[in-house]
Amino acid sequence: MITYRDRLRDVLLEGVPVKWNKKCIKYVETQEGIWVFFEDGTQEFCNILVCADGLILQVIRKQKLPELQIVNYGITHVGADISIPKHLMDKANKIHGNVLARKTLGTKGDSTFMMTRLIPIKQEQNDEKNEPHYRATLVYSYPSELDNVESEKVKVDDNDPSSVIEHVKRLIRTLRPDCTLTNLLLELWDLAPKTIPNDPIKFPFKTYNPIQRRMMRDIDPMSIKSWSSSRVVLLGDAAHSMSPILGLGANNAIQDADKLSQALLKYSDDNISFIEEYEKEMLKRTSADVLKSRNVTFMTSTPLGPFGVIIRDNILKVINVMINFYSFADNLIFKN
């Protein structure tokens, strides 16, 4: 199933009384429950603390399981949400076909990814001046060591989106051959917003993530010997952040929430064994996906020589033929 992030967010927030702009700084566990402390000086008491604070700060995870390590892949990625005018979308479709996800692999471990939404953005009626636009997410990944090449001394300001976008374009120009696809990639990155956008056609997304270089990292929850169960429960990226390459992170976070809600039905004050049951299932399921995503990321990010490129391209061609064959057979069976 494919969904827009902002729609998913609205659905998940329905009926949930969220208190925004409160940052948790620590917790203290007692026999009866947990005291949670916030940056604004307030505190709350609860029986069970569900920690879903993602990968970036990891305040609670670091307190609960300090030995759990974040693995840095040595790969940098830059992402941007953009709105593509129809004439550029047509160009992209001519190269890749009219597909949802488009990935291109370079020879130096660099790759590009574009996820498009095929329904045009809603425009004002009778707005004939504006050609239809489509939402898309661009991601550019490359080995982080390319930023440390002594001779080229890369200077990028991650607080300035134009500097990051120029850096991405410079890498694309350097690492890719001069061809129509490369020109298209450069044109697409030109559409990335350089300041916080406010035009609903040019930027129809509800949230704006600053365009920055980010390290690709993950957490394998089964990389530690024992996972101590307590009234503090981890969920989502806080427990098992993974490479975005297979799109499994939010899927697992939602499954965690579902499994934990089911488990919470068994809650009683003196018995928290249901948490252990939830964690057992969560650890097994998500660790497998963390490792699968890590392997695919390394496979597609390894620099290749000319021989390696021939092998890789032929394997991809065979996979492509197989996918088309299965899809053809599927259609045939489905129609009959």
Sheet-wide strand order for 101-105? 101-105, 111-116, 133-143, 71-85, 214-218
**Does residue 219 interact with ligand FAD by CB under 6 A?**
no
Burial class (CB in 10 A: 0-12, 13-18, 19+), 171: buried
Which of 52, 186, 288, 291: binder of ligand FAD (CB under 6 A)? 52
Among candidate residues 85, 81, 197, the one with its CA nearest the CA of residue 130:
85
CA of 264: how far to CAs of 44, 131, 221, 231, 285, in Å? Answer: 20, 50, 21, 11, 19
User: Is position 44 an interface residue for ligand FAD (rule: CB under 6 A)?
Assistant: no
Alpha carbon distance 39, 73 (integer Å): 32
Q: Which residue in this structure is represented by tokens 């759990």? A: 68
Give backbone dihedrals phi and psi of 168, rounded to 5 degrees, phi first: -60, -45
Region binding ligand FAD by CB under 6 A among candidate stretches 48-56, 62-70, 173-181, 259-267:
48-56
In the complex, minimum distance from the CB of residue 59 to ligand FAD, in angstroms, rounded to a whole number: 4
Q: Going along 185-268, which residue ranges are E strands?
A: 214-218, 232-234
The answer to whether the beta carbons of residues 102 and 113 sit under 8 Å apart is yes
Residue 175 interacting with ligand FAD (CB under 6 A): no
Judged by CB under 6 A, does residue 59 bind ligand FAD?
A: yes
- Examine residue 251 and tell whether it contacts ligand FAD (CB under 6 A): yes
Residue spans of beta strands (DSSP E) within the chain: 24-29, 34-38, 43-46, 49-51, 71-85, 101-105, 111-116, 133-143, 214-218, 232-234
Q: How far is the CB of 206 from ligand FAD (least distance, A)?
A: 13
CA 156, CA 117: separation in Å to the nearest integer?
30
* Residue 185 engages ligand FAD in binding (rule: CB under 6 A): no
Instruction: For residues 257 and 13, give the distance between their C-alpha atoms in angstroms, rounded to a whole number.
Output: 13
How many beta carbons lie within 10 A of that of residue 291, not counting itself?
15
Of 3, 7, 9, 23, which one interacts with ligand FAD (CB under 6 A)? 23
How far apart are CB 25 and ligand FAD at their closest, in Å?
7
- Binding to ligand FAD by residue 74, rule CB under 6 A? no
For residues 77 to 96, the per-residue mask of contacts with ligand FAD, x marking binding by CB under 6 A and - elsewhere, is --x-----------------
Q: Which stretch binds ligand FAD (CB under 6 A): 13-21, 250-258, 286-294, 301-309?
A: 250-258
Q: Annotate each residue in 107-146 with x if it binds ligand FAD (CB under 6 A) or - if it does not, as one string.
A: --------------------------------x-------
| Closest to ligand FAD by CB, 92 or 282 | 282
- Tell me: does residue 34 bind ligand FAD (CB under 6 A): no
State in angstroms the smallest separation of the CB of 240 from ligand FAD: 9
Q: How far apart are CA 120 and CA 275, in angstroms?
A: 44
The nearer residue to ligand FAD, 105 or 218, going by C-beta atoms, is 218
Binding site residues, ligand FAD, CB under 6 A: 23-24, 52-54, 57, 59, 79, 139, 236-238, 244, 247-251, 253
